[in-house]
Amino acid sequence: MANCLVAQSGGPTAAINATLAGVVRANQLNPLYEHVYGGLNGIEGILQDRLYDLTNLSAAENRLLRQTPGSALGSCRYKLKRGNDADYLRLVEVMDKHDIEILFYIGGNDSMDTVDALSEWARENKINKRFVGIPKTIDNDLMVTDHCPGFGSGAKFAIQVARATSIDLNVYTREEVYILETMGRDAGWLAGSTVLSGVVDVLVLPEVDFDRDVFLDQVKKCMDEKGKCYIVTSEGAHYADGTYLSAGETKNDGFGHAVLGGAGAALKQMILDAGISPRAKVQDLCSSARSANFAQSLTDVTEAFELGMSAHARSGNPAFTGQVVAVQRELVDGAYNAKFIAGPAEDFANHVKHVPTEWILPDYQGVTQEFYDYIEPLIQGEPDLVMENGLPKTIVPFNMR
Amino acid sequence: MANCLVAQSGGPTAAINATLAGVVRANQLNPLYEHVYGGLNGIEGILQDRLYDLTNLSAAENRLLRQTPGSALGSCRYKLKRGNDADYLRLVEVMDKHDIEILFYIGGNDSMDTVDALSEWARENKINKRFVGIPKTIDNDLMVTDHCPGFGSGAKFAIQVARATSIDLNVYTREEVYILETMGRDAGWLAGSTVLSGVVDVLVLPEVDFDRDVFLDQVKKCMDEKGKCYIVTSEGAHYADGTYLSAGETKNDGFGHAVLGGAGAALKQMILDAGISPRAKVQDLCSSARSANFAQSLTDVTEAFELGMSAHARSGNPAFTGQVVAVQRELVDGAYNAKFIAGPAEDFANHVKHVPTEWILPDYQGVTQEFYDYIEPLIQGEPDLVMENGLPKTIVPFNMR
């Protein structure tokens, strides 16, 4: 009986390890493979023959794995380039050495492209190896799949921070602006999700070219009305020429301050310079939304786990390669249900799923009801976390052992 | 039967409303007062006769109040100055108008001073009004009390963010520094608490004058050893001359960059300038640690609630004025137990309880075991939150109704 390999790539999410746990558990329920190896630090580590045997991971450790943030196998930013036969051959060499017939690659856009390229190359060169993709990304920007595992938990965290800090902002009567910055270089899903907090006055997404005057007008209107303004921005907010707001000393906005830090810091400076508010606070969520295991969405973690199981089970069909498993949304008696599907990796790769422009209200006023309806089911429920000394118990990542 | 008044002052915490809930509930269990009025936006609102009747708050709403962040009555930064008889007389006028004999003031240092000043003034002027303090502060810097309600929840949140983002930091093999900044202008309790995450390599507290060379040496040592460095800093980190690291263009550190933002941004710039790490991320927790109702410590929220009940019950003694209720730590069969005490407000006011210097390790290496033992009991347990649509349900703050 041959073995399988599973690896993680790109930025982690708070649910990416649930997918790994799903692959491992599925093979215990139905041992299609003699061993389940984890590739450490993605393709980069696999090329260095760094594997970890996960076959007999206990149920208890599997449960802790699901609530461990980060990529428990470690990750990489290394992209296997099409046509790089040396890397491809080395990969096959490592797989052969351990009698591995299939690689499950958990990742985002680039990783799905890698799955596509590898499976195509194997087919063309009659190499009997298979490659399957499983999506993850906090950015939620993959095509085909209704949404990406990890996004729901990140959104749930960001929404809770927005709700809590907005209530905090309102305790004083003084005029003040609060700016929350989230990840999201190209797509505004995560920043946009914070509207579910019910507190967002002004929303800046990368889907709309930034216009300083319109933005400041909107903030001013809000301040005039209630003396407070809660702003959320994507890190990827940018001007029409593509310059990020966070790009430091900008050339287009007519004032010459050095702006260190991100989009939030840039917006703060604009507001203070324009004299719209005497005070502004900025909170950049940095990597916490993608790692907040203490604020996981049960729906998200469950789907992430089941996608891992689905990929493993489908691989029982020897023709299953170059495919990516995904979630299709359906309504059952009017209620949200996740249906599991699979499709060609090429359909997932190299495109960014943006927030539809028709869901975005003009003048930074937020999003339409469709957006709310889309996000709401994804943040439902809380897993029953195993706690230790007041903190969610985590495992030592396999790449750190 | 006379009435009582309760108000909140200063910065909120994630547990400050539990104290309010405790006062309200205590009066339902034993109606010492006919009405429990909430003063909106602290002393500032009381002087404007802005009160809200909390007497019959339902048990269900009381429970939601405990999990609502911010100050549900609103807050203020207004300090009643000693000798400001006009304000004092106006306060008595408002109290008389509503037949209020006692004010419970939930706050930090300044508020305890206000309690002291008001009770002294009332005694001297033979005015039959009483003033009682109940501590809160995320900074945990009040004297007498073993710790301050709100601190445990803030610490629990900060510790969890540190743990999660550190695991996130370690997924790549690349060299990288992560800097987490917490509140704490004068005292390093909150920043220090993050050591319980087990991931903090370098800890910068306001209790130790900042020395750039020693700091950079320590970061370099850590980077040389493992290629990563997890740094936590208090916002109040400062040089020997008192200049905050966050003070913008600094005069003492020998390089001339404009530093916008806080201590974390300043440390990042130092590290990049010194070429110690090619990458550094900064996360400023801003006000989220003091408002993260989704990461409350059960111990903290329970004690906050019980302090409210204790203050109310003790006020059954007509001589109880100018006093502050507090927590004394005791060990019962070796286990942590909170004993409730009360003491003169003057003992609490106008002093800052710092992290003892003998608990701080040299060269930013963290803290001693005593510090761990001190924090650990304060972050234990999680309240069973009432959720709605995937988020902790909150009430509309009384000052927003």
B101-145 residue pLDDT tens: 999 999 999 999 999 999 999 999 999 999 999 999 999 999 999
Q: Do B292 and A76 touch (CB under 8 A)?
A: no
Pairwise CA distance, residues B282 & B263, whole Å: 10
* The pLDDT of residue A253 is above 50: no
- List the single best residue of B17, B165, B171 to mutate versus A (max A Cβ within 10 A): B171
pLDDT above 70 as % of chain A: 97
- Which residues of chain B does A75 touch, with a Cβ-Cβ cutoff of 8 Å? 171-172
B117 φ/ψ sector (left φ>0, alpha ψ -120 to 50, else beta): alpha
Q: Do B285 and A286 touch (CB under 8 A)?
A: no
Kindly state the tokens that stand for A31.
């041992």
The two counts, helices (H) then strands (E), for chain A are 12, 13
User: For chain B, what is the mean pLDDT?
Assistant: 94
Cβ contact B300:B381 at 8 Å: no
At A235 the pLDDT is 94
**Nearest chain A Cα distance for residue B390, angstroms:** 4
C-alpha triplet A111, A114, A115: angle, nearest 5°: 90
Q: Do A171 and B381 touch (CB under 8 A)?
A: no
Cβ contact A345:A107 at 8 Å: no
Residues A49-63 have pLDDT tens digits of 999 999 999 999 999
**Nearest chain A Cα distance for residue B240, angstroms:** 26
Residue with tokens 């200049």: B243
**Nearest chain B Cα distance for residue A317, angstroms:** 32
Cα R_g (chain B), whole angstroms: 22
At B84 the pLDDT is 87
Cα R_g (chain A), whole angstroms: 22
* The pLDDT of residue B254 is above 70: no
Q: Do B261 and A260 touch (CB under 8 A)?
A: yes
* The pLDDT of residue B224 is above 70: yes
* The pLDDT of residue B324 is above 50: yes
Pairwise CA distance, residues A365 & A204, whole Å: 9
Q: Do B295 and A295 touch (CB under 8 A)?
A: yes
**Nearest chain A Cα distance for residue B12, angstroms:** 7
Q: Do A164 and B196 touch (CB under 8 A)?
A: no
Pairwise CA distance, residues B73 & B401, whole Å: 10
Q: Do A390 and B400 touch (CB under 8 A)?
A: no
Question: What confidence category does residue B251 fall into, taking pLDDT thresholds of 50, 70 and 90?
Answer: very low
What is the ipTM metric for this complex?
0.94
Q: Which residue has the higher pLDDT, B250 or A37?
A: A37
Question: What confidence category does residue A1 fall into, taking pLDDT thresholds of 50, 70 and 90?
Answer: confident
A103, A340, A400 from A52: Cα distances, Å:
14, 28, 11
- List the single best residue of A8, A171, A388 to mutate versus B (max B Cβ within 10 A): A171
pLDDT above 70 as % of chain B: 97
- List the single best residue of A47, A168, A197 to mutate versus B (max B Cβ within 10 A): A168
Pairwise CA distance, residues B341 & B133, whole Å: 12
- Residue environment code for A303-333, b if the CB has 16+ CB neighbours within 10 A, otherwise e: bbbbbbbbbbbebeeeebbbbbbbbeeeeee
Question: What confidence category does residue A248 fall into, taking pLDDT thresholds of 50, 70 and 90?
Answer: low
- Which residues of chain B does A14 touch, with a Cβ-Cβ cutoff of 8 Å? 164
At A66 the pLDDT is 98
* Pairs of CB atoms within 8 A across A/B: 197
pLDDT above 90 as % of chain A: 91
Compare CB distances from A77 to B172, B286, B387 and report the shortest one's residue: B172
Cβ contact B140:B147 at 8 Å: yes
* The pLDDT of residue B255 is above 70: no
* The pLDDT of residue B398 is above 70: yes
Give the pairing type, strands A176-182 and A387-388: unpaired
What DSSP designation does A275 have? T
Compare CB distances from B77 to A164, A172, A292 and report the shortest one's residue: A172
Q: Which residues, 6 or more positions from A389, have their beta carbon under 8 angstroms from its beta carbon?
A: B196, B376, B379, B380
* Residue of chain A whose Cα is closest to the Cα of B399: A171
* The pLDDT of residue A244 is above 50: yes
Backbone angles phi, psi at B330, to 5 degrees: -140, 160
**Nearest chain A Cα distance for residue B124, angstroms:** 32
Question: What confidence category does residue A255 fall into, taking pLDDT thresholds of 50, 70 and 90?
Answer: very low
A158, A293, A320, B188 from A361: Cα distances, Å:
20, 32, 42, 43
- Which residues of chain A does B197 touch, with a Cβ-Cβ cutoff of 8 Å? 391
> Which SS3 state, helix, strand or coil, does residue A331 take?
strand
- List the single best residue of B168, B170, B300, B301 to mutate versus A (max A Cβ within 10 A): B168
Neighbours of B389 (CB within 10 A): 11
Q: Do B380 and A389 touch (CB under 8 A)?
A: yes
Question: What confidence category does residue A261 fall into, taking pLDDT thresholds of 50, 70 and 90?
Answer: low
At A84 the pLDDT is 87
Task: Write down the pTM of the prediction.
Answer: 0.95
* Residue of chain A whose Cα is closest to the Cα of B179: A286
* The pLDDT of residue B252 is above 70: no
- Which residues of chain A does B248 touch, with a Cβ-Cβ cutoff of 8 Å? none
Cβ contact A128:A101 at 8 Å: yes
Strands (E), A253-322: 280-284
* The pLDDT of residue A246 is above 90: no
At A252 the pLDDT is 35
* The pLDDT of residue A76 is above 60: yes
**Nearest chain B Cα distance for residue A123, angstroms:** 31
B66 φ/ψ sector (left φ>0, alpha ψ -120 to 50, else beta): alpha
Pairwise CA distance, residues A396 & B151, whole Å: 28
User: For chain A, what is the mean pLDDT?
Assistant: 94
Kindly state the tokens that stand for B74.
């609103």
Judging by beta carbons within 10 Å of its beta carbon (0-12, 13-18, 19+), is residue A196 exposed, middle or buried?
buried
Residues A207-234 have pLDDT tens digits of 999 999 999 999 999 999 999 999 999 9
Averaged pLDDT for residues B210-233 = 98
Neighbours of A98 (CB within 10 A): 16
Averaged pLDDT for residues B243-270 = 66
Backbone angles phi, psi at A283, to 5 degrees: -125, 115
- Check B113, B139, B141, B300 and give the catalytic one: B139
At B379 the pLDDT is 98
3-state SS of chain B is CCEEEEEECCCCCCCHHHHHHHHHHHHHHCCCCCCEEEECCHHHHHHCCCEEECCCCCHHHHHHHHCCCCCCCCCCCCCCCCCCHHHHHHHHHHHHHCCEEEEEEEECHHHHHHHHHHHHHHHHCCCCCEEEEEECCCCCCCCCCCCCCCHHHHHHHHHHHHHHHHHHHCCCCCCEEEEEEECCCCCCHHHHHHHHHCCCCEEECCCCCCCHHHHHHHHHHHHHHHCEEEEEEECCCECCCCCECCCCCCCCCCCCCCCCCCHHHHHHHHHHHCCCCCCEEEEECCCCCCCCHHHCCHHHHHHHHHHHHHHHHHCCCCCCCCEEEEEEEEEECCEEEEEEEEEEHHHHCCCCCCCCHHHECHHHCCECHHHHHHHHHHHCCCCCCCEECCEECCCCCHHHC
B85 labelled catalytic: no
At B78 the pLDDT is 85
Q: H-type helices in A98-187, by residue range?
A: 109-124, 151-169
A106, B37, B61, B314 from B57: Cα distances, Å:
50, 11, 6, 21
Cβ contact B54:B36 at 8 Å: yes
Pairwise CA distance, residues B115 & B345, whole Å: 6
Residue with tokens 């967002």: A200
Of residues B299, B287, B239, the one with CA closest to residue B263:
B239
Pairwise CA distance, residues A117 & A127, whole Å: 13
